[in-house]
Amino acid sequence: MQRKIITLLLLVIFTTFGYTQSEKINIKTDHLTEVNYLKANDFYLTHYLYIDLFLRENLFPEANSEDVSSILKALKKYVSVENKLDIEIEKPGKRNYLIRFVILKKDDGTELLIAFTNWSVKDKKFEKDIKMENDSYTRWYFLNGNKMTYRKDMSNQNDYLNINKSDLANAYLFDELYDNDSEVKNTIDAYLNQSDLSVSDKIMANLILLKYQIFKTENDNVTKQTKYITELFEKNKSESNLRGLQAAFDATKFQIELMK
């Protein structure tokens, strides 16, 4: 997964309405009351939404941490079952990037956070006239207390009996089951204790461990683990198959900045 992260400094302005706007990011909502309805842990918000709405499809990779943070903060404050949130990002020389966040509550009580965009997957461009709730690039996630789970990360989508311990630890971290969270550390430690791991396998497992430490807000361990992974890449810079992992590491470091 090749990901390009370009830092572009933008002036962020705090308006009197209680949410953040920048010169290039406009945040719109019908109700300015801060309800803090969305309870999802910041770890999941920053992981899924940064990757899915900024990096994937090359939607807005030039966003800096202030840009992304302003959008996520507004999302947490204003979106609810009753209230949608619209984001407009100005893009020079192109049509603006539009994102609409809604929370859908199904008849069985299941809640979904849905992000609609004006990006046409077929034509690979932002469309001025597109049915954002039907034809556009869309991402949706299950909400369960402070857990936020992409549909492909649900426990019923994973065969836990037939995957290696690295993938199992990753599945535990991102599925909807709270009890599995406590199994991540021991599972990844058992995997890293194997003597026949390739360099890429070792880096991948350590990236999962870093994600877990971010989730648990183990700040000292996050700092140490980030340094350790940086050293792993430096020691193995002659390896030609680590570019995707390096991009994933760069995205994870960006996530760390978002959560500060």
Residues 146 and 180 in one domain: no
Residue found by looking up tokens 């933008």 in the block: 10
Neighbour count for residue 133 (Cβ, 10 Å): 11
29/154 Cα distance (integer angstroms)? 31
**6 assigned to some structural domain:** no
**Domain limits for position 77:** 12-152
- Domain's final residue, options 124, 152, 180: 152
**3 assigned to some structural domain:** no
Residues 95 and 126 in one domain: yes
Longest dimension (CA), the chain: 58
Residues 189 and 239 in one domain: yes
On whether the CB atoms of residues 170 and 192 are closer than 8 A, the answer is no
Domains contained in the chain, number: 2
**pLDDT tens readout for residues 34-53:** 666 788 999 999 999 999 99
Residues 124 and 179 in one domain: no
**pLDDT tens readout for residues 111-158:** 999 999 999 988 899 988 767 766 789 999 999 989 999 999 999 998
CB proximity list for 161: less than 8 A, separation 6 or greater = none
Residues 68 and 86 in one domain: yes
Nearest residue to 255 (alpha-carbon basis) of 213, 221, 227: 213
